[in-house]
Amino acid sequence: MMFYELAKITVRFGTAAKAAEGIQAYVNAPGARGTLHGVWFSDIGDLNQIAILRSFDTAEDLLAERQRGLESDNPFGAAELMVKLEWESYKGFPWLSAPEAGAYGGVYEIRTYKFKTGGLPHTLAAWEGALPARAEVSPCLAAMYALDGEPRFTQVWPYADLNERAKARADAVKQGIWPPKGGPDWLTTDMYSQVFVPMAISPLK
């Protein structure tokens, strides 16, 4: 089971490419922990954001890397470009492995749902049963539940483009394989989504 950090950096307009240089140096620095998976720039939703997804083998590694960031005067090598920095900690769904580097699509949707009280075990069971069939339509690269903040879980879905996204979602519903049976019963109506495009340094492209 993997631990994940999803960091979001809001940068000044027109500085994303320069920020990417700093991000690459920061995550590859001596002593840095974790595996970099995605570096994406927001295209729909909150704009001028860079999302950075890393995984860790242990919670200790995640916390050590977070501590490094908190103690740094230049986190992600982009302090002078930042307007805002957010860190979120997650644990991966236990039966879903970390994503492998590769080209999956031109757009990535990062989608978050909030749980009703006690909703996590029901969600895990529903997704474990339904995701294999859903993945035949289009893959889910990551599904993870938050270890801090409000009870919620976040998913990462790649698509070739927005037309493919619309088609895949419609096909899954038409086939009756998505959403997972009983899954929505344990969710609130507080949901949000952003669409990102991969940056050049992203292992997930």
Question: What pLDDT score does 151 carry?
Answer: 98
User: What does DSSP assign to residue 101?
Assistant: S
Distance from C-alpha of 52 to C-alpha of 205, rounded to nearest angstrom: 13
Encoded tokens for 197: 């495009």
Q: What is the dihedral of CA 52, 90, 2, 8, to 10 degrees?
A: 0
- Domains in the chain, ordered, with CATH? 3-91 (3.30.70.100), 107-198 (3.30.70.100)
137-181 pLDDT, tens per residue?
A: 999 999 999 999 999 999 999 999 999 999 999 999 999 999 999
Question: What pLDDT score does 76 carry?
Answer: 98
Half-sphere exposure of 107 (CA within 13 A, CB side): 17
Residue 49's CB is within 10 A of a number of other CB atoms, namely 21
Question: What pLDDT score does 173 carry?
Answer: 96
The residue behind tokens 């992203």 is 202
Residues shown for the chain: 205
Question: What pLDDT score does 92 carry?
Answer: 98
The ranges of the chain with pLDDT < 50 are: none
Question: What pLDDT score does 1 carry?
Answer: 76
Question: What pLDDT score does 110 carry?
Answer: 98
Residue 105 zone, left/alpha/beta (φ > 0; ψ -120 to 50; rest): left
Encoded tokens for 102: 């590769």
Question: What pLDDT score does 187 carry?
Answer: 98
Question: What pLDDT score does 174 carry?
Answer: 96
Q: What is the pTM of this model?
A: 0.97
